[in-house]
Amino acid sequence: MRAWLPSLLRAALLAFLLAFLVSPGWFEPLLKPLVQDNAPAIYNQGSLLTLTLLHLRTVAIATIAAIVIAVTLAILVTRPFGAEFLPLSRSLVNVGQTFPPVAVLALAVPALGFGEKPTLVALFLYGLLPIFENTLTGLTTLPPSVMEAARGAGMTDRQRLFKVEVPLAMPVILAGIRLSVVISLATATIGSTVAAKTLGEVIIAGLQSNNIAFVLQGGLIVGALAVLIYDGLSAIEAAMARRAGL
């Protein structure tokens, strides 16, 4: 019974989230006590479902771009010809952690204008480090015996990379991607300060009108998404680890 409890809780959370996004009016009685007289309890300046999908799209685009760049850099610096570029690569991926996302937005807006593009830049830079470091760790901590066996089998460098190294390192790489996605889900809310369509729009509207129900809606949706995506990626990570015999 206990083993099924986490799965039941996740399923309940997913069902609750979908119900709220599709028919938020059902939950108005729960939120009504949090608002002042005659103030709306449910966000009414746009569709919560649409904002959630746009929020997820922004996070997905930025994360895919970060995966491509971070994993490529990590692979290059773990090859003999690219080892000397490791310090430079670390400096590059640390840029996003050095500058706060708000500062990145402020610098990007004059060049890219208002909207989704500055938010994508901020999320991309912020998501590089965990993916790069985990990929680097995964590729540099492989069992020496496995690598020697691959060489002994006559595999080329390319074959060892794609058939041995990357598959064995994939659980560690996924852990970095999971962390990056969760960070981006929360950070993407600030994109609404530069007119990006994210769930931050709901939170900002609540702060401006002193509507606690709006703030709670935006925060809970982002939190629920983070929990569900985190658990989903953790399950994939565990399955890959089992498949790799780790």
Domain-by-domain residue ranges, the chain? Answer: 45-243
First to last CA, the chain: 27
Q: Are 26 and 53 in contact (CB under 8 A)?
A: no
At residue 246, the pLDDT reads 57
Long-range (24+ apart) CB contacts under 8 A made by 115-118 are 115/194, 115/195, 115/196, 116/58, 116/191, 116/196, 116/197, 118/191, 118/194, 118/196
Q: Are 186 and 226 in contact (CB under 8 A)?
A: yes
Q: Are 72 and 80 in contact (CB under 8 A)?
A: no
Diameter over CA atoms, the chain: 76
Closest listed residue to residue 148, CA positions, set 160, 166, 136, 162: 160
pTM reported for the whole predicted model = 0.90
At residue 224, the pLDDT reads 93
User: Rounded to whole angstroms, how far apart are CA atoms 155 and 163?
Assistant: 9
At residue 1, the pLDDT reads 46
DSSP 41: S
Q: Are 218 and 230 in contact (CB under 8 A)?
A: no
Closest listed residue to residue 181, CA positions, set 220, 232, 221: 232
At residue 19, the pLDDT reads 92
User: Rounded to whole angstroms, how far apart are CA atoms 21 and 154?
Assistant: 55
User: Rounded to whole angstroms, how far apart are CA atoms 237 and 77?
Assistant: 24
> At residue 226, what is the residue type?
A
At residue 238, the pLDDT reads 85
Q: Are 13 and 220 in contact (CB under 8 A)?
A: no
CATH architecture of 45-243: Orthogonal Bundle (1.10)
Q: What pLDDT tens digit does each residue of the chain (246 aa) get?
A: 455 667 788 888 889 999 999 998 888 888 888 888 788 889 888 889 999 999 999 999 999 999 999 999 999 998 888 888 888 888 888 877 787 888 888 888 888 888 889 999 999 998 999 999 999 998 888 888 887 887 888 778 788 888 888 888 899 999 999 999 999 998 899 988 888 899 999 999 988 888 899 999 999 999 999 999 998 888 888 888 787 665
Q: Are 120 and 58 in contact (CB under 8 A)?
A: yes
Q: From its phi and psi, is residue 113 left (phi > 0), alpha (psi between -120 and 50) or beta?
A: left
CA 70 to chain centre: 14
Could you tell me the sign of the dihedral formed by the alpha carbons of 107, 110, 114, 115, in that order?
A: negative
At residue 92, the pLDDT reads 84
List, for residues 146-203, the tens digit of each pLDDT value.
Answer: 878 878 887 787 888 888 888 888 999 999 999 999 999 988 999 888 888 999 999 9
